Structure 1
Amino acid sequence: MLAALAVFLAVLPGLAQEAATITPELEAQMVALEDITRQLRELDGEPVERAFPTREETIAYLRETIDQQLPLDEADRYRDFYVALGLLEPAIDLRDVYLSLLSAQVAGFYDTDTQVMNVLPAQGELASELSLLEQIIYVHEYTHALQDQFFGLEQYLDDEEVVKHPDRALAAVALVEGDASAVMNVFAQEVITRNPLAVFQILGQGLQAGNLFLPPGTPPVLSREFFF
């Protein structure tokens, strides 16, 4: 039932925002990360437009997107399905739970409509260089950009035979996200191999960003599906 939710978490449509100020040092760092990602993924792709929305901008946009992609009547059908299986309480507002889940977890996303990759600044503002956590997220999102350039993400994820079958939709998203996560994990492992203490930086930055844990009270069935 989280298939549609997972799809737009992986690749969200466009988010309007003001352009961030990119210092020469930050530009050089991002170019280097893109080179590393191309090597790890073995795809010689092109540069991509970047954006750095605030968490507040992203949450507001997530709310709008959920309203559009998960209408109230459809959310009620999903809720009734879970309730019938004894997995959710009847009074739960499924759209609010989804928004809470996404708001807590989203750290970046790729826009298939405009081919823009978005990375949320972990501390709320874009600094002169990316933190280690932001670098890992950057590699993940740039992998999505490479996937789109070479394989056409929107065509793949929006295929009628995928969209109308929840299991196929989850499988499609698992492939897209698994690929990006594998590249991201290799990058992180290489960083930690060179500097074992980097793992504490990643954990500390994740705690500060507030996206290491699911919101309290998240129903177990949704937690499991969220991390399918």
Structure 2
Amino acid sequence: MLPSLAFLLSAAALPQDPGHGFDQAALQAKVDEILPRVAELRGWEFKKPVPAGVKTPEEFLDYAKEEFESEYGAEQLAAMAQEYRLLGLMDPDLDLWQAMLDLLQSQVGGFYDPKTEAFYMISTFNAGLMADIIMAHELTHALDDQYYQLDRMMAKASGLSTDAEFAVRAVVEGSGTSLMSLYSVQGAMKGWLDMSDPDALEEMKEMMAASTEGLAGAPPFLVMTLALPYLEGNKFLARESNTMKATMTAPDPDELDHAFRRPPRSSEQVLHFEKYWDDEQWDPPVPVDLSRVANRLGALGWELLDQDTYGELACFVVTEEEPPNLADPMAQMSAVWTNEAATGWGGDTLQLYRNEAGGHLAVWATVWDTAADAGEFSAALRETARRNPFLRSVDEGETAVVAVFADDAAAAGAAEVREAVRRAVPKLFE
């Protein structure tokens, strides 16, 4: 599960130059200039002013660390890292905590904090064309927050699962991205933005290069959970599968309101937006109860550390040998973020355990819409054993697939756990 901090961040950072950043007075003046434009484009009025502040890169990093630690703590972050390692979502030797901080630091130019209801710009972030556009994105968060209490939305999703949190962030970031795109178009037409300035265009190119370089080396699943809410969230709200068309389409106001009040419940509903918007195709996630597994394994000496739902997006990343590279701008525009193995996802639960020797083991139970869907995922998951030595077993029921992952210190108990799971939830194997 990723901290709610993540949905507040701008999608890209500009080249930074301490001599061309913002001071407090200049930033507040720029915010006051952009606020009414955001209100006009959205068709909503701000209920109150949005204070603006300047933070140094060091202050932002301290803020990010505090948010991470207060929301999860060291134990939860360590559990997430173990899950990523076991599922093959990252290099086993990678420091996930540091990778998160590095990724955020490389991408952030400004952010809106719903706790303080204020917008902050990083002090070294260059003033100019792209700064205005990014401000429009972040100030959209401020506007949405005044109507829908983003902090409360995110806290509720965070208490559910990684997958539910992704879906909520797709609404929040999709809203910001949609208005940011419209701001760019209208800004060029109305003279807010000077798109003929060659220096500004060069700055945009530098921004893209700096942003994509910052994604290199980070775990693909981490990058996707941070970046795709912007891209896929925009398409979700526009109800448009073509990325370019989505950027030019303003969401229907009533549908936007509906999405904020009743957000999608899974990455599946975001990636296949008809499963959210079309009543006849409405497809909420199916609960997968592993409480009996926890009881049985607890009696065998296994300590339950974490339980989560990873969703269709994770099923895609786990089974796709070479997922699209978000560091490639073309992939951002044209990639499909699912595959045959992940399509047809119905629900899942992953449990992480630790034994007395300090070894870690995960039980991942997934359910599928049809037997064919389960068979495709099962076959693809077995194929991943070639590149993931932690996969110990894959068992298939008619519409369910249960996998056991274990590191070397827990591998000896994997067979025992596999049998215990069969006895605890026999219906999954029917």
Answer yes or no: same fold by TM over 0.5.
yes
Q: What TM-score bracket applies, with the shorter chain setting the length? A: 0.7 to 0.9
1:137 to 134, 142, 147: 134
Q: Matches of 1:180 and 1:63 in 2, distance apart?
A: 24
For residues 125-160 of structure 1, the C-alpha deviation after alignment (integer angstroms, 9 at most, x for no partner) is xxxxx411111111111111111111111222222x
User: Counting strand residues as a fraction of each chain, which structure ranks higher?
Assistant: 2
1:185 to 181, 190, 196: 181
Partner of 1:165: 161
Q: Matches of 1:202 and 1:54 in 2, distance apart?
A: 26
Partner of 2:196: 197
Partner of 2:151: 154
User: Greater Rg, structure 1 or structure 2?
Assistant: 2
Q: Does 1:63 align with 2:65?
A: yes
Q: Which fold has the larger relative contact order, with Cα–Cα distance below 8 Å and residues 6 or more apart in sequence?
A: 1
Instruction: List gaps (5 residues or longer) in structure 1.
Output: 13-19, 125-129
Q: Matches of 1:114 and 1:211 in 2, distance apart?
A: 29
Deviation at 1:65, TM superposition (A): 2.5
TM-score by length of 1: 0.79
Q: How does 1:29-44 map to 2 (within 5 A)?
A: 29-44=30-45
What secondary structure, in the 3-state scheme, does the structure 1 residue paired with 2:55 have?
coil
Figure out how many residues of one structure are paired with residues of the other and give that number: 211
Q: Matches of 2:75 and 2:28 in 1, distance apart?
A: 45
Q: Percent identity?
A: 25
Deviation at 1:92, TM superposition (A): 1.6
The structure-2 alpha-carbon separation of the partners of 1:206 and 1:27, relative to structure 1 and needing over 3 Å to count, comes to farther
Q: How does 1:20-169 map to 2 (within 5 A)?
A: 20-23=23-26, 28-45=29-46, 46-123=48-125, 130-159=127-156, 162-169=158-165
The structure-2 alpha-carbon separation of the partners of 1:66 and 1:88, relative to structure 1 and needing over 3 Å to count, comes to same
Q: Matches of 2:185 and 2:206 in 1, distance apart?
A: 19
TM-score by length of 2: 0.44
Deviation at 1:215, TM superposition (A): 4.5
Q: Matches of 2:219 and 2:226 in 1, distance apart?
A: 11
The structure-2 alpha-carbon separation of the partners of 1:100 and 1:11, relative to structure 1 and needing over 3 Å to count, comes to same
What is the Cα-based RMSD across aligned positions, in Å?
2.8
Q: Matches of 2:166 and 2:120 in 1, distance apart?
A: 22
Kindly provide the amino acid, as one letter, of the partner of residue 179 in structure 1: S
Q: Matches of 2:159 and 2:205 in 1, distance apart?
A: 33
What secondary structure, in the 3-state scheme, does the structure 1 residue paired with 2:211 have?
coil
CA contact (8 A) 2:5 2:64 kept: no
**Farther off after superposition, 135-144 or 207-216:** 207-216
CA contact (8 A) 1:100 1:215 kept: no
Instruction: List gaps (5 residues or longer) in structure 2.
Output: 10-22, 229-430
